[in-house]
Chains A and B, each alone.
Chain A
Amino acid sequence: MVEIDVRGFGCPIPVVKTKKAIEKNPNEQITVLVETTVSKENVSRLAESKKYSVQVEETAGNEYRILLNPPGK
């Protein structure tokens, strides 16, 4: 499982880093830690456009852990 932490990065860095992680690790589950609602929305939108299933958990301090599952997994 791949985990990337993009907390603190402004737009569009969380999306760029998630995209890279997806491209580098196709068929792997990816966990993305994000800080803001905007990043949560953007990362989710990107993953859904790539047919990943998206699961969002709110963590302590109003942050989010986003679980991205590749299509078919």
Chain B
Amino acid sequence: MKGLIIKDIMCLRKQLRVFGFVVAGVLAVGIMYVLSARFGNIASANARAIADNQMEAFEINNIATLALALFMLVPLASVGDLLNVFIADRQAGFEKVAGILPLSVRKRLTARFITIFTLFGIGAVIDVIIAFILSVLTDIISFADFVGIIISASSLMCIYSALVILYCILLGKGRETVAMILSLLCMVLIYVILRFNKLKDILIAIIALDDTGDSGMSTDYFWDFITFIKQKSYILLITALIIMAVSYCISYVIADKKRGVI
């Protein structure tokens, strides 16, 4: 099983080489951003916005949080694009080799899931290091909130990857792009179903457009979302673990029925 994980990581070797540059870039841009938000142009622009009553302090804080959250997402997204493994396997015809290895379907599937955990684990650890450095330099966001964002981002990436694996196995080889689109659609759909009432209210308010617009509902909703990913990341983590477990079980049943095609 370890051999397959090594092989998967070898497939991502080129991607991992780029990862070093991505981390360095994110760290550099992150430091520039937090320093500017504290002492530079961003700080003075924020001060002006507050003085002119264009924005409130918490909104500025939320915008900064969002920018830093996006920075945190970049290393995770660049390290864990598992589609490349599926594509590389298909191009090489590796499924034939995999089929003759002395590994059960369960072990082969477990190897793929461990690869995701390992990669996101690496991404998350590096993110935590970046977050620690940035949190020392800024008072906009605490280290604990940073960790919350990292857990949320890792959880979302794990959900996405679990769905990609499931769809790749279900749809068969050569359908990796469809699997990716379906996974993203699934995630959006689950979110819409879970937050249907709130989203419906916002939509009605936007459609009913009057002078007051949607009365700030969408902005409030967005700020609530930012607070959620900072402070309630454990909910996303639990969801990710459940989805990964479900994806693993369904993928196993499908792969077993397809005589071990993973």
Whether A and B are associated in the same complex: the answer reads no
Q: Which residues of A contact B (CB under 8 A)?
A: none
Q: Which residues of B contact A (CB under 8 A)?
A: none
